[in-house]
Structure 1
């Protein structure tokens, strides 16, 4: 693994697209055209990134393929893996390093979920109104949620009464013991580990369709939890 601290190289590795372009050369030798084809990006964009990555010492020319006119350069990454230490990034906190991707992922999840939810509601709603409810739940606590008008006054976590489809959006605040929290964490990790080989196999075979999966578990204070209501 190459430890990267040069300012120009660090700037490239902190950006999503140059990282993707460099990643196209990690598996072995590749041309600019081949990388553009694999990544599905414009050839000119890839060419600019390749030149920048080479100038920053992250890519190297390994050989040239002769052809009529100008020969085609074949590139490879200068190392099989790269590491940018936090101290070289100029970030104010550790959270900044992954904040951009997290924000884009969250925005896409929100857009895609409600797009699919509205489609399902249009197909299955039967003219019923969907709206916000405030009521006293059977368990004795006040609940605010969204559902169909006339639906039973129970939370979706108890019994879901909305349109059905391959969608799930569950932002839940739960109270657990430390042992229970560890158990939930292990279950979620095992789920991700089980899905990863399936994903790689389906993508290699060109089958299936992409889904976004959001999982999370983090402790908060009682005051922070109260602020959600």
Structure 2
């Protein structure tokens, strides 16, 4: 593993498009045409990004295929792994990095929920005691004008495909490890069920010892 010590090189690798290019080149030696097709980039951007990564010492030319005109170049990483010290990035600590990463992800999740959700009533916050653990829960949902009116099939199907929740669980270390393993096994099960014809779904899960507030 190589440590990228120069700040300018760290910033190059922090760009999402550069990360996608590096990821493709880690899987196989790629030409510019490969990157354009796989990542849906235009040729000028692919060329610019690859040159950035090469100047930063992150990519190199693996081989060239001769042809009439310019040879076709295949690009690979200079190392199998790279390490960016936080002190040389815009993020001073892991907390800073995760905060900046998670904020747009959570915002996007909420945008997708509200954009796709059927309009059944007025949106708001519900406060109620959960019967399972007798704790106050805060839930955002729609207050239907007429709860007795049945929800149509399409709206019900959408509701059954969306999940957003957070809760404090009181677990022993052993139980916490079991839960983590089961969650990872469940993720792997459905990761392998992905289909080229499937619809994209935003997925995330968090589990850590602690509370929402310091005590």
TM-score, with length taken from structure 2: 0.75
* Aligned equivalents of 2:103, 2:127: Cα separation in 1: 33
Q: Secondary structure at the match of 1:68?
A: coil
Contact residue 113 and residue 169 of structure 1 kept, 8 A: no
> What is the aligned-residue RMSD (CA, Å)?
3.1
Q: Which residue of 2 aligns with 1:155?
A: none
Q: Which residue of 2 aligns with 1:213?
A: 203
1:68–1:95 Cα change, 3 Å: same
1:196–1:67 Cα change, 3 Å: same
Unmatched 5+ stretches in structure 1: 153-161, 225-229
The number of equivalent residue pairs is 202
Unmatched 5+ stretches in structure 2: 149-154
Contact residue 117 and residue 167 of structure 1 kept, 8 A: no
Larger mean CA deviation between 30-39 and 63-72 belongs to 63-72
* Aligned equivalents of 2:95, 2:213: Cα separation in 1: 22
- Per-residue CA deviation, residues 78-134 of structure 1 (Å, 9 max, x unaligned), is 12222223343352211233444323322221121112213xx4xxx4xxx344476
Contact residue 126 and residue 138 of structure 2 kept, 8 A: yes
1:60–1:172 Cα change, 3 Å: closer
TM-score, with length taken from structure 1: 0.71
Question: Aligned ranges for residues 120-139 of structure 1 at < 5 Å?
Answer: 121=119, 125=120, 129-132=121-124
Contact residue 60 and residue 78 of structure 2 kept, 8 A: yes
* Aligned equivalents of 2:76, 2:128: Cα separation in 1: 63
* Aligned equivalents of 2:103, 2:125: Cα separation in 1: 29
Q: Which residue of 2 aligns with 1:173?
A: 167
1:71–1:171 Cα change, 3 Å: same
* Aligned equivalents of 1:103, 1:138: Cα separation in 2: 27
1:45–1:100 Cα change, 3 Å: farther
Q: Which residue of 1 aligns with 2:10?
A: 10
Q: Which residue of 1 aligns with 2:144?
A: 148
1:138–1:167 Cα change, 3 Å: closer
